[in-house]
């Protein structure tokens, strides 16, 4: 621990937030399996989903170590009540049509690229190592989802309309990614966390450039939603968890 005053439960929560984001988005992408627009995209979405699951696993394992109560990745991923999941609302939003899935991915990846890049300089060696590995993965997610959004935005009238609708639908969930609360500030002061608020300019530049190539209009900042970081979710999370946790809840305490 770089700072003796930092309570383990504070860092634990911070790492959980990160882990939950990747798990829930990975779970959403898993829902696409067998239903994608093309066979090639079937494989691409699964690749992204597998990257995110891998990141989630490393983060949960580390969170379990920090907590020091013997909980492993599965205990944390499967056996918490809804209010203890700390993911951003963006990642729990339903897949919708392919445009919604792609816009959600662009928003997420455009944030995670500068986030992981900054995290590689964290004073926490484990997080810095996870960041270095994850950065390469999300750079590809950004490339893949951006190129799709460009094709959908500048494709047919229908695809343009669907992409613009998807942008409007998800726009208000993006701002939560940049929120810094007392917990995040405390960890930032210790040199561990990333200043998420400071990543907004890069996110804007990335997203604006994609929207321009996609011939799409940047929505107005007329509304925003947050609450995920303190466990106040949309109704969608409960349904995700009822599938995610089904086996562990139905057959408690068994090995699989």
Binds another protein by CB under 8 A, chosen from 2, 83, 121, 156: 156
Q: How far is CA 166 from CA 82, 171, 172, 227, in A?
A: 26, 8, 11, 21
Taking CB under 8 A as the rule, does residue 233 contact another protein? Answer: no
In this structure, are residues 28 and 240 in contact, taking their beta carbons and an 8 Å threshold?
yes
Q: By CB under 8 A, is residue 154 in contact with another protein?
A: yes
251: DSSP letter: S
Q: Which is nearer to another protein, 47 or 126 (CB)?
A: 47
Closer residue to another protein, CB minimum distance, 159 or 234 = 159
Compute how many residues bind another protein; rule: CB under 8 A. 52
Q: Which of 6, 8, 4, 1 is nearest to 187 (CA)?
A: 6
Site for another protein, residues 22 to 81, rule: CB under 8 A:
23, 27, 30-31, 33-40, 42-44, 46-47, 49-50, 53-54, 56-57, 60, 73-74, 77-78
We find the least distance from the C-beta atom of residue 229 to another protein, in angstroms, to be 22
Distance of CA 167 to the CA centre of its chain: 17
Q: Could you tell me the smallest distance in angstroms from the CB atom of residue 156 to another protein?
A: 5
> DSSP assignment of 151-165, as one string?
HHHTS-HHHHHHHHH
Q: Which of 106, 180, 112 is nearest to 150 (CA)?
A: 106
Shortest Cβ 161–another protein spacing (Å)? 10
CA distances, 229 to each of 20, 118, 153, 216, 226 (Å)? 10, 20, 31, 30, 8
Q: Does 252 bind another protein (CB under 8 A)?
A: no
Chain centroid to Cα 194, Å, comes to 15
Give the footprint of another protein on this chain (CB under 8 A): 23, 27, 30-31, 33-40, 42-44, 46-47, 49-50, 53-54, 56-57, 60, 73-74, 77-78, 97-98, 140, 143-144, 147, 150-152, 154-156, 158-159, 162, 243-244, 246-248, 251, 254-256
């Amino acid at each position: 621990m770089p700072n003796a005053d930092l309570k383990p439960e504070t860092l634990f929560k911070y790492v959980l937030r990160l882990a939950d984001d990747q798990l829930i988005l990975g779970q959403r992408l898993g829902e696409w399996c067998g239903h994608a627009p093309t066979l090639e995209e079937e494989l691409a979405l699964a690749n992204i989903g597998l990257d995110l699951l891998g990141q989630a696993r490393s983060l949960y394992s580390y969170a379990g170590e920090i907590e020091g109560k013997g909980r492993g990745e599965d205990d944390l991923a499967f056996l918490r009540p809804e209010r203890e999941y700390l993911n951003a609302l963006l990642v729990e939003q339903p897949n919708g049509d392919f445009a919604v899935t792609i816009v959600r991915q662009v928003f997420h990846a455009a944030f995670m690229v500068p986030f992981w890049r900054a995290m590689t300089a964290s004073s926490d060696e484990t997080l810095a190592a996870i960041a270095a590995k994850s950065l390469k993965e999300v750079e590809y997610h950004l490339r893949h989802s951006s190129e799709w959004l460009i094709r959908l935005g500048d494709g047919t009238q229908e695809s343009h309309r669907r992409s613009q609708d998807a942008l409007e639908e998800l726009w208000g969930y993006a701002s939560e990614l940049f929120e810094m609360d007392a917990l995040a500030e405390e960890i930032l002061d210790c040199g561990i966390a990333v200043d998420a608020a400071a990543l907004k300019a890069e996110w804007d530049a990335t997203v604006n450039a994609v929207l321009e190539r996609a011939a799409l209009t940047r929505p107005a900042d007329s509304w925003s939603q947050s609450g995920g970081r303190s466990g106040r979710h949309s109704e969608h999370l409960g349904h995700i968890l009822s599938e995610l946790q089904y086996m562990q809840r139905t057959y408690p305490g068994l090995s699989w």
